[in-house]
Amino acid sequence: MKEIIEINGAQAGPTSMILVGVHGNECCGVEAIEQLLPSLTIEKGKVIIAYGNPRAIEQDVRFTETNLNRMFKPDDQFTDGEKNSYEYSRAQFLKQYLDQTDVLLDVHASFTPVSKRFVICEKNSKDITQYIPVSTVVYGFDAIQPGGTDYYMNTIGKIGICIECGYLGDPNSAEVAKESIVAFLQSMGHIEGESEIQQQQTIQITTMYMTKTDSFVLTKEFDDFEEVKEGEVIGRDGVQEIKAEYDGIILFARNREKAGEEGFLFGKLE
């Protein structure tokens, strides 16, 4: 695997980066790039294609030591152990290319079996995300879940976009990734063709619940974007019931076995 591929167009234009395999077992982006590369011709600007976590891709695991998609925060927010990890050094390597990039598309998939495609971004990306074939756009991650590649891009005055292509075990997620990459490249003017503007709902994520004990158990398996009513019990953290504070939607809800882990995200339709 060539970890970085740079393709220059004949005409001047922006620099974009497509990042796949930040989580090694989310293979849809890797498969999509492998399908697209043989016939990919960049007309304008420069496109950087990067394989985020080669060790994790090879082992078919989310990460080898720590979550690469939390390694893009300022250095003073990491422990010594995190700084000594492979993923930390990998983040420093990838920053060299992110710093050259105007817009990033980071391709992911979800652990939730009933999951739909959606985009994670901030509002500075609307001119691009409106062309990506999703019906849901989610804002607010930078404030409550910092450290991702898109977060890093936004902090340096660029644009970071993350596409969630559905369940990682669904073979169709690779096709979603492929369609999204093509729409992204067209919207940036790198390749010929024009994607249609999509009808999209927007959701603001307002809360990330961090576990307090070594036993956080959901009351049921929640689908991504499932509606939850105010006062509904979401799970139990040790002996404490965790309830929804208002009517909203839940995202990335997981059982956890350690304190200080991300239990779920909660938000509302804008």
- pLDDT tens track for 203-232: 999 999 999 999 999 999 999 999 999 999
What is the model's pLDDT at position 114? Answer: 81
- pLDDT tens track for 29-52: 999 999 999 999 999 999 999 999
Question: How far is Cα 161 from Cα 155, in angstroms, rounded to an integer?
Answer: 13
Domain residue spans in the chain? 4-187, 205-269
Q: Note the CATH number of domain 205-269.
A: 2.40.50.100
In DSSP notation, 99-134 reads TT-SEEEEEEEES-SS---EEE--GGGHHHHTTSS-
Mean pLDDT of 239-246: 97
How big is the chain by its Cα radius of gyration, in Å? 18
pLDDT score of 270 more than 90: no
pLDDT score of 1 more than 80: no
How far apart, in Å, do the first and last CA atoms of the chain sit?
Answer: 42
- pLDDT tens track for 102-161: 999 999 999 888 888 999 999 999 999 999 999 999 999 999 999 999 999 999 999 999
Q: Note the CATH number of domain 4-187.
A: 3.40.630.10
